[in-house]
Amino acid sequence: MSIPKLHPRPLRRGTMIVAHDHGLPELVRPDSPALDVMTDLRRSRAVTTVGGATLESAHQRMIHTGVRMLLVLDRESSVTGLLTATDLLGEKPMAVATREQVSHDQLRVEHVMTPTEEIQVVPLNEVAHASVSDVVALLRETGRQHALVAEERADGEAIRGVFSLSQIARQLGKALELPGVAHSVAELEHVINH
């Protein structure tokens, strides 16, 4: 007869659930590795939608999952686009509705998403040698809240990770804004540190 290694006990009153941290460190510095602020899609499920979804359903999906970006997939689960909260809540839907002469309710994700051919990705092998300040510089230079990280695999390219400016700001413990581009590493570190 073996001795049990596990000994169950009653759950204590007031027990909480551990907060999900996406496997990322709570706090980082500008010189921390970029991988410390990348949401790794091997550990966290990507939040997705389809091109035919309504803008309202995509917006509700963002709200319920606490994200500001959705990857848009086709029937084969290939990425066909990217949809951000700015795409949904900015001027783009109204401009498209006017151009296409349709009501806002008739617009679908495919009408306002950024299509694949306009999406830039950062190679994972470059991210592995970059710092948090390099990622912030990239986001500032491109004027984007998010950046996708791609990995080369035997079966082709795959989206491996996501950088989010708001996530990086939380981990740095500093507010980060996009307006104005830092022109040097020293200037960027000044923005991050002050």
Report the pLDDT value the prediction gives residue 20, as an integer from 0 to 100. Answer: 61
20: nearest Cα among 40, 44, 36 = 44
* Cβ neighbours of residue 67 closer than 8 Å, sequence gap 6 or more: 47
User: For 42-62, what is the mean pLDDT?
Assistant: 95
Q: What does the pLDDT look like over 53-77, one tens digit per residue? A: 999 999 999 999 999 999 999 999 9
The helix (H) or strand (E) run that includes residue 39 is strand 39-40
Chain-centroid distance of CA 192 in Å reads 20
Return the higher-pLDDT residue of 168 and 1: 168
pLDDT over 60 at 190, yes or no: no
Q: Could you give the angle at the alpha carbon of 57 between the alpha carbons of 53 and 59, nearest 5°? A: 115
* Cβ neighbours of residue 96 closer than 8 Å, sequence gap 6 or more: 107, 111, 112
Rounded-to-integer distance, Cα 156 and Cα 129, Å: 22
User: For 79-89, what is the mean pLDDT?
Assistant: 94
Q: Percent of the chain at pLDDT above 90?
A: 67
Local structure of 164: helix, strand or coil: strand
Rounded-to-integer distance, Cα 99 and Cα 78, Å: 28
Confidence grade of residue 18 (pLDDT, cut at 50, 70, 90): low
176: tokens are 């980060």
Return the higher-pLDDT residue of 17 and 44: 44
Spell out the domain ranges in the chain: 34-193
Multiple choice CATH, 34-193, 3.10.580.10, 3.80.10.10, 3.40.50.1100, 1.10.1530.10: 3.10.580.10
Please give the C-alpha separations between residue 159 and each of 2, 89, 170, in angstroms, as whole numbers. 47, 25, 23
pLDDT over 50 at 183, yes or no: no
